[in-house]
Amino acid sequence: MNRLEGKIAIVTGASAGIGKASAILFAKEGAVLGLVDIDDAAGEAVAGQINREGGKARYLHADVASADELETAINVFAKDFGGIDVLYNNAGGATPRDAHLLEMPLDEFDRAIGLNLFGPFVACRFAIPYMQERGGGSIINTASIRSMIGTSGADGYTAAKGGVVTLTRALALQCAPKRIRVNAIAPGAVLTERVRALMDQGNDSGPDEKMVNRHLLGLGEPEDVAPVALFLASDDSRWITGQILPVDGGASAN
């Protein structure tokens, strides 16, 4: 307990799935939480739950594909809470019309990049100066095993997550002198609300049967990823930076 005592953390995509599970866990470990999402009712509900359980959290609406909205949210959290120690760029996911390169609408590629790559890029841009003022911190980006192995059917998402991997490594080099660590989690197929919906629809941008069968330990739950995010957010990982950590039930090894 209290592994994040005194830390100020921002979690994007915090209204559901991995973001929600991580925010609740971070709060239990002592962090003050700034929650970002576009689902206002669900985001407020997560903040309310944390506050009722004795933690401290505030929710703000921001689309991570909008630089202006994200900058405003980060500035508000930093000023209200006194800085930023942890940034968890969790928001992202497959988009409904993503597909094979020859088939997907071109505007869906822009949507995939905005949600999955532009968002983390912008959030890091605005959060890093606040972390530097605090003497360091931890940035956690969300990649995907699709960025590490060959998969088919979600080429926009895969390209965006590949960008997250290389952005993570580039920022790790640039931020080390500032005592800011930058790592990424590469989840496999996690049964979030979004993934369940894509699977129920038979949408190819979600995990198909071949992808599901790669998971040696079965598909994951958000609570399987949150402890890994906690580890990277905490001082337990103080000697780790520039790493891409698969959390995938063995899928990348199969």
* Of residues 114, 184, 110, 89, the one with CA closest to residue 143: 184
Would you say 86 and 193 are in contact if contact means Cβ atoms under 8 Å apart?
no
Q: Please check whether residue 57 is in contact with residue 198, taking contact to mean a CB–CB distance below 8 angstroms.
A: no
Nearest one of 167, 186, 184 to 237, comparing CA atoms? 184
How many angstroms separate the CA atoms of 149 and 181, rounded? 25
Q: Which of 74, 61, 156 is nearest to 114 (CA)?
A: 156
Torsion angles phi and psi, residue 102, rounded to 5:
-75, -10
Q: Are 75 and 82 in contact (CB under 8 A)?
A: no
118, HSE (Cβ side, Cα atoms, 13 Å):
17
88 is catalytic: no
Whole-angstrom distance, CA of residue 190 vs CA of residue 5: 28
Yes or no: say if 131 and 181 are a contact pair by the CB < 8 Å rule: no
Residue appearing with tokens 């944390």: 50
DSSP H helical segments within 82-154, as ranges?
106-113, 119-133
Catalytic residue among 59, 88, 130, 157: 157
User: What number of other Cβ atoms are within 10 A of residue 190's Cβ?
Assistant: 24
Catalytic residues: 157
